[in-house]
Chain A
């Protein structure tokens, strides 16, 4: 057998070694656990802090993008406009975190970089119709890299990304960029757009609907640069002929209107004795009597077609009475124009905003006078001076107001005045023979454009103001007819995917924070559509107006009732558009409405229905005006120059960020 001496050492060493290994394992494990716990605590702290930074950044975005002029809004719009799907990130701020940094960090330091960018844009509708440049749906990504430190020691470091859905809607678009394309708010170019202007003009007795007393005044736009003035267009009144133009009556109660009357090249036109005798054969008793030295004069003058009081003289009155006869033997005495354009009456000014064929209507008066003073009468061989009584008799019996045989008065009452009709027919023959520089018959002339400085001419005036505006469907194809209905017809706010909210009930406006009824605040951001109800805007307690905060459009297909004024909190920031697609906009207040009112529908009957004279600062767009429903006190429209722009810098966009997080991740760096 072997000796056992010294074996104890081996046993002890073995036991000590085995125990040592186990103890070492346990110690290492404990140490790792302590480290893990330490890092976990720091990571959680960092996660909390970055959460605050991200929330603060999002809030800042939400608050600042309410202002279309804010740098953040501009940056987002620029990235929306770019063709690149992935854009460079730009710096963001987290002011609420910065303001409370020391309280949050409790002695630690946090270094971070915070940026944001647009990516993954969708710039066409689900049906492939391209949105206006800068409009679309996209994802906004907030990128954060942060490092938590204690002194110089880095405790934890992470990178975070958080993404939100974003909608960008153009409320005021650069009109030079969409000369051949569609933008949702195209009617804002117009201080007044009457889509069915020509049809409304022709309804009932032609022209009466627009000339039944002054009802609507478009305020002076002279202070606005020419390129930003609100246009005026009466739909399809595009050519200066009787079927395609709209006329507005001149009135003696309106100095501006009187100033526009064309000037005459001559006020008198002489015809020979032969022509006089052919015109008035009764004078020579069918050749039985001969004259020498008889002269005939046509006297021309222009007058406002509508007179507030009595006519200046009998001839003017007679002309107005005769020419006022309309079919059915009715008389339609001209009233002042329903629409007045304040400001200058020169062509350059009116050219800057008036589109299509808008003409003025005035009384062109021609009356004939015989001059027998110095004339002689005889039997053909002997002549002697006509005695004064004879001269007077002759002159008195031979003066008359000249009318065309084509006027309604003769067509309706030819049997009542056969002599007058015969005279008118002879007058036409004289006119044909003498080729006068001016027409020889009185008329309500209506082919002269609505500006001063025109010289009356015989030839019909055919030129119009500027070309008629062009309109486009949602797919940017030109509309052949302004009255085209349906989804591919005349359709403002046609890109539904860009709406912030749809299918709301009116009461849900409060729920969604759009309309604070109690405080009278309309929070607008993008396009909100109330499909299911009529919307009433009521005055809050103690105030007679609602305050608009933000930029956007409120759509209520069933219509609006405006019971109080609407005031923008910040005129440079806020913009309000009220649009109805089926109903009308009822205005039950005379307080100032700082909003654009639009009512267009597929029945071509959208309108504003005021029970009091309204005062709008914005734009008006309707299918028909129905001026006969307007109160007698004229309503006023002052165009807001922010609504029309020829530069990208002045475009107005509404950015709508979804509060819901679309994607969120966090990556911790290895310690």
Chain B
């Protein structure tokens, strides 16, 4: 009978060089993937928070449009729901019940301005600014520092 052990001992399995080269390739690939992933995550989070910010800004615009000119005129004299011309936390002075907002909305603050305008009828120009609160981690994700929204709520003409 012929023994085969001594001869095949070094012919099977992985060589050290093989493993080392594999590890180098793997680490280069993983590092690249990590960078790509980070960029993707950043894009996703930016899109998500921008969408959230846009929703919050539009909410104010739609709300004011829905309430109408007469309300806006009165509101300018006595703003109670949210302050005018000053930054405030969106959920600190939320328009609707706090439970109807995502929790992340608390990361945003808002400024609302109202001014009377004329020209082919009277109206109230409403501008809304939305930004992330200072020191909030969301600021790291958002590419734009502030979102701006504007509309004009028009006076319903007399008959």
Interface residues of A (CB under 8 A from B): 1, 3-9, 11-13, 15-16, 19-20, 23-24, 26-27, 29-31, 33-34, 36-38, 40-41, 44-45, 48, 51-52, 55-56, 59-60, 62-63, 93-100, 103-106, 512-514, 523-525, 549-550, 659
Whether the pair A12, B12 counts as a contact (CB closer than 8 A) is: no
Neighbour of B18 across the interface among A6, A19, A59, CB < 8 A: A6
Q: Is B43 an interface residue (CB 8 A)?
A: yes
Check A96 against B150 for contact (C-beta < 8 Å). Answer: no
User: Which listed residue (A3, A13, A20, A56) contacts B12, Cβ 8 A?
Assistant: A3
B63 lies within 8 A of chain A by Cβ: no
Closest chain B residue to A514, Cβ basis:
B159
Is the CB–CB distance between A56 and B39 below 8 Å?
Answer: no
Query: Do residues A9 and B18 form an inter-chain contact, with CB atoms below 8 A?
Result: yes
Residues 139-159 of chain B, each 1 if its beta carbon lies under 8 Å from chain A, else 0:
000000001111110111111
Interface string of B38-55 (1 = CB under 8 A from A): 011101101110110010
Find the A residue at minimum CB distance from B41.
A30
Indicate if the CB atoms of A37 and B40 lie closer than 8 Å. Answer: no
Contacts of A4 in B (CB 8 A): 12-14
Complex CA–CA separation, A48 to B64 (angstroms): 12
Q: Which of B70-78, B82-90, B95-103, B117-125 contacts A (4 or more CB under 8 A)?
A: B117-125
The minimal Cβ–Cβ distance linking B122 to chain A, given in whole angstroms, is 8
- Contact of A23 (CB < 8 Å), options: B37, B47, B151: B37
Give the top 6 A-B pairs by smallest Cβ distance, nearest first. Answer: A95-B120, A99-B119, A37-B47, A30-B40, A62-B157, A59-B121
Closest chain-B Cβ to A579's Cβ sits at a distance in Å of: 18
A59 and B65 in contact, given A44-B58, A106-B150 (Cβ under 8 angstroms): no
CA distance A235 to B54 in the complex (A): 71
Binary contact readout B1-45 vs A (1 if CB under 8 angstroms, 0 otherwise): 000000000011111001101100110011001001101110110
A103 x B33 contact (CB < 8 A)? no
CB distance from A13 to the nearest CB of B (A): 8
Tell me whether B50 and A37 are in contact (CB under 8 A). Answer: yes
Q: Give Cα A481 to B108, complex, Å.
A: 78
Residue of A nearest to B144 (CB): A41
Asked if B94 is at the interface (CB within 8 A of a chain A CB), the reply is no
B61 at the interface (CB under 8 A from A): yes
Shortest CB-to-CB span from A668 to chain B, Å, is: 16
Docked pose: A48 CA to B19 CA in angstroms: 61
A71 to chain B, nearest CB (A): 14
| 21 A-B pairs whose Cβ atoms sit less than 8 Å apart in the complex | A5-B18, A8-B14, A16-B25, A19-B29, A20-B33, A23-B33, A27-B36, A27-B40, A44-B58, A45-B149, A51-B65, A52-B152, A52-B154, A56-B123, A60-B120, A63-B121, A100-B123, A104-B125, A104-B150, A514-B159, A523-B158
Minimum Cβ distance to chain A for residue B62 (Å) = 9
Which chain B positions have C-beta within 8 A of A7? Answer: 14
Decide if B120 touches A63 in the complex (CB within 8 Å): yes
Selected contact of A34 from candidates B29, B44, B155, CB within 8 Å: B44
B118 neighbours in A (Cβ, 8 Å): 96, 99
Chain A residues near B127 (CB-CB < 8 A): 103
Residues of the B chain whose Cβ atoms lie less than 8 Å from the Cβ of A3: 11-12
Cα of A60 to Cα of B122 in the assembled complex, Å: 11
Contacts of B50 in A (CB 8 A): 37-38, 41
Set of chain B residues within 8 Å of A99, measured between Cβ atoms: 117-120
Is A63 in contact with B157, judged by CB distance below 8 angstroms?
A: yes
Residue among A1, A3, A33, A106 with the most chain B CB within 10 A? A33
The reply to whether A12 and B22 form a contact with Cβ atoms under 8 Å apart is yes
Residues of A within 8 A of B121 (CB): 56, 59-60, 63, 95-96
Chain B residues positioned under 8 Å from A104 (CB to CB): 125, 150-152
Most buried by B among A24, A26, A34: A34
Which one, B47, B51, B152, contacts A97 given CB within 8 A?
A: B152
Which residue of the partner chain A has the closest CB to B155? A59
Residues of B within 8 A of A41 (CB): 50-51, 54, 147
- A100 B117 Cβ-Cβ under 8 A: yes
Interface residue range, chain B: 35 or more
CA distance A97 to B152 in the complex (A): 8
Residues of A within 8 A of B36 (CB): 23-24, 26-27
| Cα-based distance from A60 to B13 in the complex (angstroms) | 86
- Which of A15, A59, A98 has the most C-beta atoms of chain B within 10 angstroms of its own C-beta? A59
Q: Kindly list 19 other residue pairs between chains A and B, CB separation below 8 angstroms, not including A6-B18, A23-B37, A41-B54.
A: A9-B21, A16-B29, A20-B33, A24-B36, A26-B37, A30-B40, A34-B44, A40-B51, A56-B121, A96-B121, A97-B152, A100-B119, A103-B127, A104-B150, A514-B159, A523-B159, A525-B159, A549-B158, A550-B159
The one of B21, B48, B125 that contacts A103, using a Cβ cutoff of 8 Å: B125
Nearest chain B CB to A47's CB is how many angstroms away? 9
Contacts of B51 in A (CB 8 A): 37, 40-41
Which of A15, A48, A93, A524 touches B120 (beta carbons < 8 Å)? A93
Task: Type the 1/0 row for B106-123, where 1 means its CB is closer than 8 Å to any CB of A.
Answer: 000000000001111101
User: In whole angstroms, how far apart are the Cα atoms of A54 and B26 in the complex?
Assistant: 59
Beyond A95-B119, A96-B123, is A659–B54 a contact (Cβ under 8 Å)?
A: no
Evaluate contact between A96 and B151: CB separation under 8 angstroms: no
- In the complex with contacts A95-B120, A525-B159, A33-B152 CB distance below 8 A: no
Contact of A36 among B13, B14, B47, B149 (CB under 8 A): B47
Indicate if the CB atoms of B47 and A34 lie closer than 8 Å: yes
CB-CB under 8 A for A5 and B15, given A23-B33, A30-B43, A95-B119? yes
A94 to B120, Cβ gap below 8 A? yes
Instruction: Return the chain B residue nearest A37 by Cβ.
Output: B47
Return B51 CB to nearest CB of chain A, in Å: 5
Q: For B30, what are the chain A residues with a Cβ–Cβ distance below 8 Å?
A: 19
Q: Are B120 and A59 in contact (CB under 8 A)?
A: yes
Interchain CA distance A62-B120 in the complex, whole Å: 10
CB-CB nearest in chain A for B52: A37
Report whether A96 and B26 are in contact in the complex, using a CB–CB cutoff of 8 Å: no
Tell me whether B157 and A34 are in contact (CB under 8 A).
no
**Chain A residues whose CB sits within 8 angstroms of the CB of B151 once the complex forms:** 48, 51-52, 104
Q: How far is the CA of A513 from the CA of B47 in the complex (A)?
A: 47
CB < 8 Å neighbour of B150 from A24, A33, A103:
A103
In Å, the complex CA distance between A488 and B123 comes to 47
Using Cβ atoms and an 8 Å threshold, which residues of chain A touch B46?
34, 37
Contact B158 A513 (CB under 8 A): yes
Complex Cα distance, B41 from A29, in Å, reads 10
Residue among B29, B147, B149 making CB contact with A20, cutoff 8 Å: B29
Q: In this complex, what residue of B is CB-closest to A33?
A: B47
The closest CB in chain B to the CB of A31 belongs to B43
A103 contacts across to B, CB distance below 8 A: 117, 125, 127, 150
Residues in B with CB closer than 8 Å to A40 are 51, 54
Closest to B37 in A: A23
The answer, among A15, A48, A96, for a CB contact under 8 Å with B154, is: A96
The answer for the CA separation of A106 and B149 in the assembled complex, in Å, is 9
State how many angstroms separate the Cβ of B104 from the closest Cβ of chain A.
14
- List, in ascending order, chain B residues with CB within 8 A of A550's CB: 159
A576 CB, min distance to chain B CBs, angstroms: 13
Cβ-closest chain B residue relative to A35: B47
Question: Cα distance A98–B33 when bound, in Å?
Answer: 50
Q: Is the CB of B22 within 8 A of A59?
A: no
Residues of B within 8 A of A44 (CB): 54, 58
